[in-house]
Amino acid sequence: MSIRIALAAITVAFVAACQPQQPEVVTQPVVVAPEPVFSGKY
């Protein structure tokens, strides 16, 4: 019984290790410029 559980755990670990690695997506923070404030001058 325990041999079956060990084989199942090894099989799951092997399949998980063989999966292609997902690329890590790193997003850059967006820099938002403040709106110009109307000062009443021309």
* CA–CA distance, 13 with 7 (Å, rounded to integer): 10
* CA–CA distance, 27 with 16 (Å, rounded to integer): 27
For 14-34, give the DSSP string: HHHHHSPPPPPP-PPPPP-PP
Residue 32: the pLDDT is 82
More confidently predicted of 7 and 1: 7
pLDDT over 80 (residue 5): yes
Q: What is the pLDDT of residues 7-37, one digit of tens each?
A: 888 888 888 777 777 777 777 778 888 887 8
Sign of torsion over alpha carbons 34, 39, 41, 42: positive
Q: Residue 6: which pLDDT band, with cuts at 50, 70 and 90?
A: confident
pLDDT over 70 (residue 42): no
Query: Buried b / exposed e across 2-16, counting CB within 10 Å, b at 16+?
Result: eeeeeeeeeeeeeee
